[in-house]
A and B are shown apart, each in its own frame.
Chain A
Amino acid sequence: MSTPVNIAFELNGRKIDACVSARTTVVELLRDTFRLTGTKVSCELQVCGVCTVLVDSLAVSACSMLACDLDGTSLTTIEGVMQGTELHPIQEAFIETNAFQCGFCTPGFVMMTLALLDREPNPTVETTRDWLDGNICRCTGYQPIERAVQVASRRLAEIESDSD
């Protein structure tokens, strides 16, 4: 029998106490227990990025992380990205540049962009490519996604300077 492990963590800002099986991955916990289906499963080898979530602000593959290792962490999923009732500027940017088609990879790319711009608000083309090379899109050919990051970076800078 797998060990039931008690975990206490923050999920999109909400304090959660849960008991998880040692064999459960983070993505299984999100999708099956919390019914947060925005985080997807595809390759299960950390290559495709559709399972990207942020753990303590760092992008990780939820398919390859054990749920019991969430203890003491702060987890953000795509469902926690909207700002109240408003779309996050990154989400707006993805819409503006048509940076999606079927949409299956989109939550992963949004999460990666969130992590990227959090760390480097004005990333170079090289840095953006370095970061996003770890996510696959089978539909768009990537160009509109690259543009979305650039648009988002500008928007966030504008908002930043507006609030100064």
Chain B
Amino acid sequence: MPVLPEVRHVRAFTLDEALSLIDDDVVPYAGATELVPAMRLGVRRPEAIVDLKRINELGGVDLDMATNAVRLGAAITHREMADNSVVNEFLPSLAAAAAHVGNVRVRNSGTLGGNLSFAEPRSDLSVVLSALDATVEIASAGGQKTIPMKDLILGAFETCLSPDELLIAVTVPFEPVGMSYWKLKSYERPTVGIASLPVEGGWKIVVGAATERPEQTTIATNDLDAVDAFVNSLDISDDLSGTPDYKRSILRSRISRIVALP
């Protein structure tokens, strides 16, 4: 379809206002990076869209030295995360991942909240945030709740958010030393993404892009059998970037290399 479908447009100025509006047919947006292509393809046909960009409560980067965590407002863009000095100092892998999402234009418009809510499986941020045990604040007209990052994404393009709920912030504990994130990107979207960080006796591994949602496990140092078992247990997508065999081979090879280090 060459044009967007008819749609009603509302600007929200407070969080409460936005929460009172959103439902099945009334969809919130900030950067519109995911929304516009979805509407153009006819995948999403909301009756109305709500612009969140004027809501102050959705912005901000808050450093909490008491809990050793950083709270990121959902409206922060990928570029802002990549540039922000607090994120770079305390969450360097997140800053690096944000610096390589999509391309420069996507990073200027796309937001953390939009990215996580859309739950495109072939993405980086959800993998890194899962590895860091981030928590997600969700608000609705009925109240607020906080859930672990790993419970947010249920499957491809599917989150636990109901239509009247809005992701408003992500709180991320400081990144431990030794964490890294690697991805293979041969096409427009990543083929495979692996976050790893050292834990007692081994490594925490989180895999994404090749799976419908981030999948994590803990593997003892040098336990190659456990690597095999984990990789074989994953439900790997078969698409234009490769077959499951191919992606498993890359996962096996990279993860083995990671866990070989003490």
Contacts and interface: CB of A to CB of B under 8 A. Distances in A.
Are A and B in direct contact (Cβ within 8 Å)?
A: yes
A25 B9 CA distance: 13
Interface string B1-37: 0011111111000000000000000000000110011
B37 A49 contact: no
A147 to B, nearest CB: 20
Contact of A134 (B7, B9, B102, B109): B102
8 contacts: A2-B6, A46-B102, A46-B103, A68-B9, A112-B104, A131-B104, A134-B104, A134-B105
Contact of B108 (A44, A58, A69, A133): A58
Contacts, number: 78
Interface string A133-149: 11000000000000000
A16 interface: no
Contacts of B254: none
A64 B103 contact: no
Contacts of B105: 46, 49, 52, 59-61, 134
Contact of A22 (B9, B109, B188): B9
Interface of B: 3-10, 32-33, 36-37, 40, 49, 51, 53, 79, 100, 102-106, 108-109, 188
Given A45-B37, A46-B33, A64-B32, A2 B104 contact: no
Contacts of A61: 105-106, 109
Of listed B5, B102, B108, B188, residue having the most chain A CB within 10 A: B108
A44 B41 CA distance: 10
Most buried by A among B6, B7, B103, B188: B103
